[in-house]
Structure 1
């Protein structure tokens, strides 16, 4: 029988029915007297040198101010990808022990890759909430398996069920900043048809964060709070506001080679790097993927500079959001007793390729080979880069600048993938004698939750949902804040898609992905002396073979302890998914004018397969509007009726195709859109009215990977439009002038190009038992 009990919420006391199937909540205590507020500002895909305190030229005055009065960590490392870093940040566990050896898109059936936070791992929010804190989260979550993001999913891994009182943001790994594909408030999707002109997600998130603080203070003047602000920026698609982009016009015409040298010089000058540090030369720093700026044409230089202008503007906007929060805390008189952390979740990314892309989704999130003539970058005006009309990613040359002075990029276990900026500020602690300044101790992301709890005076939860809590891997850094000579951590393993690394006592071993199984510590290992060579320019493995073997063996031990295996040694591990996801690809009936079907749920009906869309409609007088839309400016399709008749629009990653048919006569009709697979990842689209073909679009690139990104909307085109011309005239263009009775999606068989492996793990276990 369900037990009835209360819990504290905003605006009074609410009631909750508790049963075995409902979320478990620990009892709250009162926060320690004088407990500090905590603000954690996490930035997505930000490189080590992008912020002013770390050598960057981008304007970040508010972060600069924190650094001048707080602590700048020059030897902070994180996981090579975002979800693993976030899981470690919130639990204090190493990424694989926290269930995230990879981003929250696959579940191949192994403990280190569940992409769900463990039930026996209390989050920072859960411990602080039990300790008397209000707990708020805005922005990117990315800690729920994508197949459990839809509205009927088990929400046990959603933010409110993992310790947050309030949540607002995008739970996916990224979204459009001008037209978010999906926003969630607490446990429900935000029902909005279209966004006003000038809408920008970073501003919205900041508004929501300030509102949460104000609503708390209106009801409780003393309760401390945790604000976990996880920016969706500067993850692709990289976007910014026009005014901020104009501010950086012309700043990057000198090119990436010079900018990298200038950032490196500032890092040495400011003591971020030792005076004898070496900037890795092209031979080991991806020079084969990065053309020299002086060798580019004038048009190429203008295009590539625009990409970086937008990136810089986006970083600037993050700093502006921090400034608004700092100003608000000042007005409340709470700035001095607020601990603020600003950090990145991994290094800058090379996803954009050597030339960058204005068609981000065309080459993102796809397993397997693409045809030789596949879409790479649909040319469009460079002034559209950063705006709502295209989804872009900056070129590899700028990513290397972001990661100055290190080698490689996001998802790599070289320093460019894992060495990230970290700034910590707490004026009250400085006033009490903790000297601010540079800290060069080795710190890992798992250390942050234990540190925050220690500084807040809140013990970590010893149990969760009746089970003993896992022992955290991280340790508190409170002593490091007080004493620049206090020791940092000695060791940490790293792994990402088979790439391996081990840091121990100032040395680092790195191994590329194994080409085949070579034993738990097998393969070729490079060794670097990080004290003498922090930028990994001199491999000393041949000189120290015994050390190489020792580090490889230590990695093996740590890997077994942290559930790292199996390694992705044949490229199929993350193509494997649970067979339970197959039901998401069953035919579905969608009513009109509801919030869009969630992204992954929608994609299961269409991606890498043929499909049929049946639209039942009664046409009245002057029919007009969108009947069904799926996708956005990054790629999508729609069926509509306007004054000229039937319209089918297809957006192939920015290349538009349209076909028209006659105006349907008054009365009942069935309109059918067929997407039939052709060779080389193409579709042919035909639209029929009552069995008669009215429109045809032949041989267009399939939408795959992360496209269509915005889910299916019926009766209007939600958010980021598929067809910009239609949007300019009609906005979301809700259907009127008839009765749109519903839409049915009928998925066809999976394409031979679909390398997804569906495995029924439960059946396999049962078979073994027999």
Structure 2
């Protein structure tokens, strides 16, 4: 018998039945042993509950029925009726930090996620990835014997790690999820996602099927994962983190989904806001007597009166909100499908279901009436006046929400979404971080109704862990973890009169700050907020002060009456900022986004694509062209160009913006989709037998590109004026030999589909060149001076 106590089989003594022989003298004393496996406990009768957390992107406080919305949300209404509506729940003012806090139970800066996870600016609080020593909710529940699943948006790893060869240590599977299906970016095209991942692997597809819609795809996968897990091991509970792409821009909808809402928003945002406010009072969410933030808020952004808009402006604005309502309905349908599969499995009553938004509604970027292509805000070469934009976009009104647009609704609708609060996403006023929150667990919590205790997103992990009877690990990878910053909400859930367990809480986003104290010198609940003007010294900021119990909407600044309280809360913020690695914080200049890890420079190198190469994802591809000149050489092989061959040679981007090099009718053409505006070079005949075709793009500055075309070193076309694309655009990645997923050129797609090149080609080589003289990389020292005041 071996030391392990297992039966030993001699590999070299085959028996008659083909198995290795067992040593006879071992048989009487052979005692099998197997490693102990975790067995979850918790819930009524020791039956572990399933845990499903669904988070929605950029949804306003009042956008669902339990918080006053007119938008039908019957499935969320059912969750509220079965459980609890938390009216004073807070997150961070933007997405990645909220997600990091949700999954770790820690303040976002303390776990390296002080801002959106696009940029590692070199400081610990902004590392843009989860730390090695901090266990996640998934790791906590998997250690307790749960199956763990993640669906949808991740946005918790650095941009430089999002590609197929990227470091995966902060990807979902490496952070405790057994299964993952979704996208790593901040946003996604709901009709034609740029890059989906299954587990650790990119999903390769050239074209999505007719009628594809990402919300439905994510929900299909979630339902499949749940059903599969339950069939494979019925006794094993599951923990699912479902992060929707909606309702973040682009505000895409399924064909026909908004028809039922036609005309509903013609009365304007004042009317809708008033209706929602009345219902909030009736539902007991927030009493009417505490007021509503003004539309003409001095803190901005400005919201015009509905009647002040021109007729076309009102038509566009109403259509955007009709589409937004349709998106909220698809979220509710997703909730219904998740509940349905749990009901079919007999597990719904023993499911802890959590629903929340990651921050307040997104305001400012949509302007007065909404915008057809939100990414066009990155266009610095041509900024139309509001009237010019309405005139341009009214012709697209029936396209809004479709695959040819990248829409965002008007600031007025974002303000209505955040009823009754002031400000929006990115702000440390409550419109940025007070969100709708529902939780239900029929067998474990029962019907609880409305709860008004203060709670924070860091409280979610300790709460669901306590409810499920699961211990949160104190270490990860042999290293001590940070003590959780959150506190369990269980007592407050069970008892409406119990005090909140959460103590002081700081907020910070791009230099704007706030500090909440549940009590101070006998006074209940103060909140101080420092509004910040970009690129100014923090010492110049005014700290406003609000008595939260009396003024939860933050309408009456009493700082002048309580200077000592303001000073105390500002000092507490400073202490918390030091303890949580908030400093050095952004002062609102572009520095945070432009100060990049020097390791990213390795991507700005000559890159060769072959017919076998799948598309390069957005960040990796954009390093070849961002803010700089570049060349693209196409090697057509020894036979060269043959008359009759045609199709796309290179396509970079999609319907949001991009450029495409193609041959049609024997002529070489470069076409740019400049945020919906089409720029096309004059066709250049391709010489028969030409082996090497070149697109040369110069970046002279002032947000311009000048393109030229060559064949075997001979000039074919020069002086093609284009608009320089940068950072997030092109968003849809770079494909060789075909358009892919989202077509750059709608016209080409209508005529030829993805238009794959019909001839042969051997390789495509992209060579990044010099930066434009006014590129951020060149101007970094000046940008650092803009970002210098941090005191």
What is the TM-score when the length of structure 1 is the normalising length?
Answer: 0.91
User: In structure 2, the residue corresponding to 1:178 is in which secondary structure?
Assistant: coil
Deviation, 1:265, is 1.2
Q: How does 1:70-109 map to 2 (within 5 A)?
A: 70-109=83-122
**SS of the residue aligned with 1:74?**
strand
Matches within 5 A, 1:158-237: 158-237=171-250
Decide whether the 8 Å contact of 2:98 with 2:359 is kept in 1. yes
Aligned length: 727
Say if 1:307 and 1:395, in contact at 8 Å, map to a contact too.
yes
Q: How does 1:529-548 map to 2 (within 5 A)?
A: 529-548=547-566
Does the CA contact (< 8 Å) of 2:666 and 2:686 recur in 1?
no
SS in 2 for 1:421: strand
Counterpart in the other structure of 1:152: 165
Are residues 27 and 196 of structure 1, via their aligned partners in 2, closer, same or farther at CA, if it must alter by over 3 Å? farther
Q: Distance in 1 between matches of 2:430 and 2:471?
A: 33
Q: Render the CA deviation track for 1:325-373: whole Å, top value 9, x for unaligned.
A: 1111111111101110110000001122233211211215x9xx76666
Aligned partner of 1:683 among 680, 684, 705:
705
Q: Would you say the 8 A contact 1:593–1:716 is kept in 2?
A: no
Displacement of 1:282 in angstroms is: 3.4
Map 1:337-352 → 2, pairs under 5 A: 337-350=350-363, 351-352=365-366
The answer to whether structure 1 residue 740 and structure 2 residue 737 are counterparts is no
Shift of 1:753: 2.8
Q: Which residue pairs with 1:584 in the alignment?
A: 603
Q: Is the 8 A contact 2:295 2:302 kept in 1?
A: no
Q: Distance in 2 between matches of 1:254 and 1:517?
A: 40
1:509 aligns with 2:509: no
Structure 1 stretch displaced more, 664-673 or 135-144:
664-673
Q: Structure 1 residue 514: deviation in Å?
A: 6.5
Give the corresponding residue for 2:630.
611
The answer for unaligned runs of 5 or more in structure 1 is 1-25, 761-770
Deviation at 1:485, TM superposition (A): 1.4
Which residue in 1 is equivalent to 2:483?
A: 471
Check whether the contact 1:44–1:344 (CA below 8 A) recurs between aligned residues.
yes
> Paired residue for 1:705?
727
d(CA) in 2 for partners of 1:704, 1:80: 25
Q: 1:522, CA displacement in angstroms? A: 7.3
Contact 2:381 2:723 in 1 (8 A): no
Residue 395 of structure 1 pairs with residue 417 of structure 2: no
Q: Is the 8 A contact 2:511 2:588 kept in 1?
A: no
Structure 1 distance, partners of 2:411, 2:117, is 24
Q: 1:451 aligns to what?
A: 463
Alpha-carbon displacement from aligned partner over 1:407-427 (angstroms, at most 9, x marks no partner): 001000001001100000111
1:646 aligns with 2:668: yes
Q: Secondary structure at the match of 2:204?
A: coil
Structure 1 residues 27 and 120: alpha-carbon distance in aligned structure 2, compared to 1, 3 A threshold: farther
Mean CA deviation greater in 195-204 or 349-358: 349-358
CA separation in 1, counterparts of 2:537 and 2:377?
Answer: 31
When structure 1 is superposed on structure 2, of 504-513 and 114-123 the one drifting more is 504-513
CA shift in 2, pair 1:730/1:517, >3 Å: closer
Aligned to 1:749: 770
Q: Determine the C-alpha separation between the residues in 1 that align with 2:116 and 2:507.
A: 15
Distance 1:148 1:27, change over 3 A: farther
Q: Which residue of 2 aligns with 1:672?
A: 694
Cα deviation digits, residues 236-287 of structure 1 (max 9, x gap): 1111112211121111100111111111111111111124111122343666
Q: Deviations over 1:651-693 (max 9, x none)?
A: 0000112234345344351111112124420112222222333
2:789 aligned residue: none
Cα offset, 1:184, TM superposition = 0.6
Q: Distance in 2 between matches of 1:323 and 1:757?
A: 51
Instruction: State whether structure 2 residue 31 is matched by structure 1 residue 29.
Output: no
Q: Secondary structure at the match of 2:225?
A: helix
SS of residue in 2 equivalent to 1:156: coil
Instruction: Kindly name which structure, 1 or 2, has the bigger radius of gyration based on alpha carbons.
Output: 2
Q: Is the 8 A contact 2:194 2:742 kept in 1?
A: yes
The answer for the alignment partner of 2:647 in structure 1 is 625
Aligned to 1:12: none
Contact 1:282 1:288 (C-alpha < 8 Å) held by counterparts? no
After TM superposition, list the pairs within 5 Å mapping 1:650-661 onto structure 2. Answer: 650-661=672-683
The Cα shift of 1:620 comes to 3.8
1:174, 1:236 within 8 Å by CA — same for their partners in 2? Answer: yes
Tell me if structure 1 keeps the 8 A contact 2:296–2:304.
no
RMSD after superposition: 2.1
Per the normalisation by structure 2, the TM-score is 0.89
Report if the CA contact (8 A) 1:28-1:131 is conserved: no
Q: Indicate how the Cα distance of structure 1 residues 604 and 466 shifts in structure 2: closer, same or farther if over 3 A, else same.
A: same
Q: Is the 8 A contact 2:771 2:778 kept in 1?
A: no
Quickly say closer, same or farther: Cα 1:697–1:415, change in 2 above 3 A: farther
| 1:267 aligned residue | 280
Distance in 2 (CA, whole Å) between partners of 1:103 and 1:27 is: 40
Q: Secondary structure at the match of 1:619?
A: coil
Q: Which residue of 2 aligns with 1:15?
A: none
**Which of 26, 39, 45 is residue 58 of structure 2 equivalent to?**
45
For residues 542 and 201 of structure 1, what CA distance do their matches in structure 2 show? 50
Cα separation, partners in 2 of 1:220 and 1:621, compared to 1, 3 Å: farther
1:294 aligns with 2:312: no
- Cα distance, 1:697–1:259 mapped onto 2, change above 3 Å: farther
Q: CA deviation at 1:67?
A: 0.7
> Aligned pair in 2 of structure 1 residues 757, 413: CA closer, same or farther (>3 Å)?
farther
- Structure 1 residues 608 and 718: CA distance shift in structure 2, 3 A: same
More deviation, 330-339/643-652: 643-652
**1:167–1:186 contact (8 Å) kept in structure 2:** yes
Q: What is the rounded CA distance, in whole Å, between the counterparts of 2:722 and 2:179 in structure 1?
A: 43
**Is 1:584–1:601's contact at 8 Å kept on the other side of the alignment?**
yes
**In structure 1, C-alpha distance between the alignment counterparts of 2:494 and 2:218, rounded to whole Å:** 33
Give me the whole-angstrom Cα distance separating, in 1, the residues matched to 2:82 and 2:586: 44
Residues of 2 paired with 1:610 and 1:532: CA distance? 58
Residue ranges of structure 2 left out of the alignment (5+ in a row): 1-34, 519-524, 782-791
Say whether the 8 Å CA contact 2:687–2:711 is kept in structure 1: no
Contact 1:371 1:680 in 2 (8 A): no
2:749 partner SS: helix
Residue deviations 1:722-750 (CA, integer Å, cap 9, x gap):
001111222222222x2111111111112
Shift of 1:645: 2.7
Q: CA deviation at 1:624?
A: 2.2
